[in-house]
Structure 1
Amino acid sequence: MLIRDIKDADYFRAGDNCLLCELLHPKDEKDYGDLKLQMGYSIVHAIVPTGEKTIPHMLKESSEVYYILAGKGQMHIDSEVSEMSSGQVVYIPPGSVQYIENRGDCDLVFLAMVSPEWREEDEVVFGE
C-alpha cells in the first residue's frame, strides 16, 4: 500500500511559475520502494499564490485536469476564459495553450492530473 501525505511533501517552482508538489508519477520510483505504479497519469498538488498566475504553457500530447480545492481563479484555455472556484473541475485538451490566474484573496489550490503522465519534453512554456 502506498500512502503519501501532503504535509511531508516538498514543493518546487515549476517552469510555468506554479508551486508544485508531485504526489504520484509512475516514472518516479525513488519514493515507492519495490512498488511499481501501474497508472497512465501523474498527479500534483498545485498552488498559485494570491495575486499570481501561471505562465502560458501547453502540453503537446497529454491532456490535463484541474480540480480546484480552494480559492478562486480565472482559467484561460486558448481563446476561452472562465471563472473557477472550489469544487470545480476543468479539462484541458492536448495542444491547448493554458494558464490560470489567482483572482481571490487566498492561495488558489488545486490538483492537476496529467494523462499520459507529465514529461518534460511534452511541455512548452511560452513566457509572458
Structure 2
Amino acid sequence: MLTRTLSDCEEFVAGDHTVLRELLHPDKQAAKVGYSLAHGKLAAGRRSKWHVLKSSEVYYFIAGEGTFAIDGERCSVTAGSMVYVPPGAKQSLENTGTGDVEFLCLVDPAWRMEDESILE
C-alpha cells in the first residue's frame, strides 16, 4: 500500500513560481500510473509565470480565489473549481484573494522538466 501525507513531501518552487509538493510521481514511487499528482499554492497578490506543458493538466482548487488564463481565455477559480488545460496551452494563474490559492494538479503523462517551457 502506498500512502503519503502532504508533510511527507518536500516543498519546492516550480519554474512557473508556484510552490509545489509532489504527492505522487511514477518515477519516484512504486505506483503503476502514467500521471503525476502535486499539491500547489500561490501566495496572495502573486501570478505564476506564463508557461506551456506538453502534457495535459487538471487543476482542482481547494482554497483561495484567483483567475486562471489559458490561451487568451480567463476564468475565475475558487475552492471547488476545476480547470482542464490541454497539452501545449499557454497558461498562468493569478491569486486575486487575500490568502493562498491552493490546488491539486494532475499531469498526464507525468510531469517532466523537459516537457515544460517557461515563457517569461
Please state which band the TM-score falls in when normalised by the shorter chain: over 0.9
Unpaired segments ≥5 residues, structure 2: none
Unpaired segments ≥5 residues, structure 1: 30-35
Say whether residues 1:2 and 2:2 are aligned partners.
yes
SS in 1 for 2:57: strand
Give me the CA root mean square deviation: 0.8
Q: Report the Cα offset of residue 7 of structure 1.
A: 2.3
The one of 39, 48, 53 equivalent to 1:59 is 53
- Matches for 1:23-34 after TM superposition, within 5 Å: 23-29=23-29
Say whether residues 1:109 and 2:98 are aligned partners.
no
- Matches for 1:34-73 after TM superposition, within 5 Å: 36-60=30-54, 62-73=55-66
Residue 31 of structure 2 aligns with an amino acid whose one-letter code is L
Q: Report the Cα offset of residue 91 of structure 1.
A: 0.2
SS in 2 for 1:28: coil
The one of 55, 62, 67 equivalent to 1:74 is 67
Identity across matched positions, percent: 45
Residue 16 of structure 1 aligns with an amino acid whose one-letter code is D
Mark the structure with the bigger radius of gyration.
1
1:8-53: per-residue Cα shift (whole Å, max 9, x none)?
A: 3221111100000011000114xxxxxx211110000000011111
Whole-Å separation in 1 of the counterparts to 2:50 and 2:100: 19
Residue 43 of structure 2 aligns with an amino acid whose one-letter code is P
Count residues in correspondence: 120
Q: Report the Cα offset of residue 85 of structure 1.
A: 0.5
SS in 1 for 2:46: coil
Whole-Å separation in 2 of the counterparts to 1:88 and 1:15: 23
